[in-house]
Amino acid sequence: MKFKMLSILILIFILGGCGAISNEVDESGNSTEEYSITLNYSDHDPPNGMRTKFLQEYWFPAIEDETDGKVRINPVFGGGLLSSSEALDGVREGVADIGLVYPDNYSQRMFSYELLKLFPVAPSDFEGMYEIFDRALTELPQFSEDLEKNNQVPLLITTGLPIVFGSTSELNSLEDVQGDDWRASSRWYLETMRNMGANPVSVPWEDVYMSLETGVIDGVMTNYDGFHMMGFYETSSNIIVGEELWWSAPFIHTINKDMWDSLPNDIQEGILRATEQAQKDFADVYKEELENTIQSQRDAGAEVKIADEKDIEAFNDPELFESMRETWVKEAEENHDIENAEQYVEDMKEIMNDALGYEEY
C-alpha cells in the first residue's frame, strides 16, 4: 500500500509539470518576457538509447535555446508516464504534451504506415529516409489523417538503425536462415522470413534475449539499435546488418494539438526552428551510431557482416512484396476506409524511386 501511494504521489508530481504555464502573451500573439511553460514529454524507451540520447542532447536543449528558455521539457522515459501502447491516446488526451508515437504499436489504427514496410530497400543515409517519411506525410492524406484524428501535430521524425539479422549459429549469408526458428516484429517481416526458408516465430520483445539464450529461437530480425541496446549480440553473435534495408517504421514525436494551438506565435516558431535543426543533426547521429555499433560489437567478439547484394536480393523478393502490397490494398479499402489504396502504392513507388535515384520498384 505504501508503494502504491508513493507511485501515485510521483505521478501527481510529474503531471504537475505538464503544461504548467504563465499566460503572458502580448497583443500580437507573442510571448512576453514573463512567459514560461513546461511541456511534459513521454517515451517508452529507456534514456540510454540512440534516439532518446539524441532527444536529450540535441532536440530538447535546442527548444530551450530557440525559445530563450521560455519552454522547458520535462522528459519521462521508460514508459514511466505512458507505455508504448498508451502513447497515441495519452498525447491525444493531454496526459503528455509531447510524446513518441510509434506506428508499429498501432498496426490497425495507423494502418497506412504498414505500407512503408512493403518497400524494404531505401537509401542508407537518414537524409534519404527522411525524404520518404516527409513526402508520405505530405502527399498521402491518410498518413497525416491518422495523427490529426487523434488530436496530434507531428514535429520531429527519427527512426531506428537498419534491419539486422542476429543468429546463434553460423550466418555467412541470409541463405543460412533456412530451417531455423526466427523471430521478427510484424506479420510482413514474419512472412519474409518464411519466404527465405526460416520458421517464423512470434516472441514478445522482452522475452527475446532469454529465447535466444535457451534455444527457443535461433535468430532475431529487428532494428540494429534495439538489437544492441537489448544486448542480443551477446547471445546471437553472428550478425548481418542490412544497411540498405531501412527500419521503415518512423518514430513520430508529436504534440497535443490543443496545446500546440495555445502556444504563442513566437514560441511555435522557436520550437519549429529547433526541430528543423535537430532533424538535420539526426542524420549525423544516425551515421555515427551505426559505425560505432558495428565496431563495438566486433570489439566484443561478434561476427558482424554487412549485407551484400545477394543478401539484399534474398530478403527483397519482388514477387513476395508485390503480393503483400496487394494484400495491403485489399485490407486498406475493406477494413480501413482508405480510398484509392492502389494509388497509394503507386505514389509510394514513385517516392521510393525518387529517394533512391533509380527505379527499384
Is residue 254 included in any domain, yes or no? yes
- Inside any domain, residue 28: no
Specify whether 18 is located in the same domain as 167: no
| Residue 150 · residue 258 · CB < 8 Å | no
Q: How many Cβ atoms are within 10 Å of 236's Cβ, its own excluded?
A: 24
Residue type, 310: K
Q: If you search the block for the grid coordinates 502556444, which residue do you land on?
A: 263
Neighbour tally for 309: CB within 10 Å? 8
Residue 97 has which C-alpha cell? 504534451
Q: Are residues 319 and 338 in the same domain?
A: yes
- 3 lies in some domain: no
Q: Among 201, 188, 185, which residue's Cα sits nearest to residue 114?
A: 188
337 in any annotated domain: yes
- Three-state SS at 214: helix
What is the domain range of residue 272? 12-22+35-160+249-290
Averaged confidence pLDDT in the chain: 93
Domain end among 290, 318, 346: 290
Q: Mean pLDDT throughout 225-236?
A: 95
Cβ atoms of 223 and 160 within 8 Å: the answer is: yes
Does residue 259 fall inside a structural domain? yes
The string of pLDDT tens digits covering residues 253-309 is 999 999 999 999 999 999 999 999 999 999 999 999 999 999 999 999 999 999 999
**Sheet of strand 238-241, all strands in order from the earlier edge strand to the far edge:** 199-201, 181-183, 219-223, 163-167, 238-241, 303-306
Asked whether residue 232 is domain-assigned, the answer is yes
Q: Are residues 274 and 343 in the same domain?
A: no
Same domain, 57 and 106: yes
- Are 79 and 93 members of one domain? yes
Residue 18 confidence class, pLDDT cut points 50, 70, 90: low
Question: Of 94, 72, 67, which Cα lies nearest the Cα of 265?
Answer: 67
CATH code: domain of residue 337? 3.40.190.170
Q: Is residue 4 part of a domain?
A: no
| Residues 43 and 121 reside in one and the same domain | yes
pLDDT tens column, 191-222? 999 999 999 999 999 999 999 999 999 999 99
Q: Are residues 81 and 216 in the same domain?
A: no
pLDDT of residue 25: 80
Do residues 143 and 233 share a domain? no
Decide which of 290, 315, 342 is a domain's last residue. Answer: 290
- Looking at residue 159, its pLDDT comes to 96
Shared domain for 280 and 308, answered yes or no, is no
pLDDT of 81 > 60? The answer is yes
* Rounded CA separation 223/160 (Å): 6
Mean pLDDT of the 150-174 span:
97
The number of folded domains in the chain is 2
Flag whether pLDDT at 1 surpasses 50.
Answer: no
Whether residue 225 is found in the same domain as residue 76: no
The residue out of 290, 320, 342 marking a domain boundary is: 290
Considering the domain boundaries, does residue 143 fall inside one?
Answer: yes
C-alpha to C-alpha distance for 66 and 123, rounded to whole angstroms: 31
Q: Is residue 346 predicted with pLDDT exceeding 80?
A: yes
- The bridge status of strand 163-167 relative to strand 238-241 is antiparallel
Same domain flag for 224 and 320: yes
Asked if residue 56 and residue 120 are part of one domain, the reply reads yes
